[in-house]
A = this chain, B = another copy of it.
Amino acid sequence: MGRRKSYDRDVLVGKAVEIFRDHGFAGTSAEMLVAGLGVNRYSLYAEFGSKQALFEAALQRYDEEVLERNFGPLEAPGAGIDEVRALLEFFGSARESPASGRGCLLCNTAVEFGPDDPSGAGFVQQYFERLSEAFYAALSNAGGKGELRRSVDPREEAGFFTASVLGLFVMLRAKAPPTVIESAARVAIGHLEALRAKPPA
């Protein structure tokens, strides 16, 4: 039995998420990772194999934790309009959001790499699917409960809300004027509320 590790892999991945979220893949050097993770260079490569592999572990972690925390409520059984509204309100609170200055790691990655896939695993396409399916699920639930106007197409609206939150992520990332972010969220919420079926007279 040899020397024990002085780090925890899960902790390292968590820290890597934050570093890649701030700087992107190309803008993050191995040196930055060594400094930010607090491990030596040898252990970084022994544990993860390559910078790319660490990046993919970070994307996986982000999906499991951050996307799960934010979009999981929409995917839950019984989720509906209120869950969508809570999400929009959360991202519209520009000054307080943890995404301020940082945005969403998967959104940032989508833009950084464009149509080139940073890994064979299709993280970005899965991300778009997850977002639109989450909105679709919540709105379909609402429709099934009679909470949506009959004319509403949950599939169409899902695409719309996906674009809305991606736009919020961009503005949060680059610290657009908070008033623009808040307006965008309020109108999206107004649009959402307008989808509700009117209660019978």
Contact = CB atoms under 8 A, between A and B. Distances in A.
A62 to B, nearest CB: 15
Contacts of A170: 107, 110-111, 163, 166-167, 169-170
Interface residues of A, number: 53
Q: How many copies does the complex hold?
A: 2
28 contacts: A22-B114, A103-B111, A107-B111, A107-B170, A108-B111, A110-B170, A110-B174, A110-B176, A111-B111, A113-B174, A114-B173, A114-B174, A114-B175, A125-B177, A128-B176, A128-B177, A132-B180, A156-B187, A157-B183, A160-B164, A160-B183, A160-B187, A163-B167, A163-B168, A167-B167, A167-B168, A170-B170, A194-B194
